[in-house]
Structure 1
Amino acid sequence: MHLYGKEVKPLRAWRLIVMAVFVLTVGALAINGLVYAMSKQVEIVDDNGYYEKFITYKATAADILAEKEVVLQSDDEINFAPDKKVPDGARITVSRAVMVKIDDGGNEYLKRTAKKTVGALLQSLGIDANAGIKLNTGTDSSVVEGMTLKIVYVKEELVTAEEVIPYKVTKKSTTKLEPGKTRVLQEGSEGLSKNVYKVSYENNKEVARELVEKTVVTAAKEKIVEYGAAQPKVAIVYGTGSIVSRSGEFRYKGVITCSASAYCIKGRTATGTTTKVGTVAVDPKVIPLGTRLYIEAPDGSWTYGSAVAADTGGAIKGNKIDLYMETYQEAIKFGRRTAKVYILE
Structure 2
Amino acid sequence: MNQMHKAGKTLLVLGAVFTVGLGTAGTVIATTQNAVVTKNGETKKLYMLTSDDTNDILKTAGVRTSHGDLVLRSTNAQGNIEVNVRTAYPVKVIADGTEKQVTAHFGDTARDVLQEAAITLGPVDTVNVPIDQLVEENTKISVRRNHIVTVKADGISTQVVTSTDTTAKQAVQKAGVSLGKHDELTAEADQPLTQEQYVAVNRVTYKDEVLTEDIPFDTVTEDDSSMFVGESKVKTEGSSGQKKIVRRTKYINGVAGETSVVSTSVVKDAVNKVVLNGTKEQPQEEETSSAQISSASSSAGQQVNGLSYSRVLTGKCTAYTGGGTTATGLPAAVGRVAVNPNEIPYGTRLYIASPDGSYVYGYAVAADTGGFVYSSSTMVDLYMDTEAECENFGRQTMNIYILN
Structure 1 or 2: more helix by fraction: 1
- TM-score of the superposition, structure 1-length normalised? 0.40
- TM-score of the superposition, structure 2-length normalised? 0.35
> Which structure's relative contact order is higher, taking Cα pairs within 8 Å and 6+ residues apart?
1
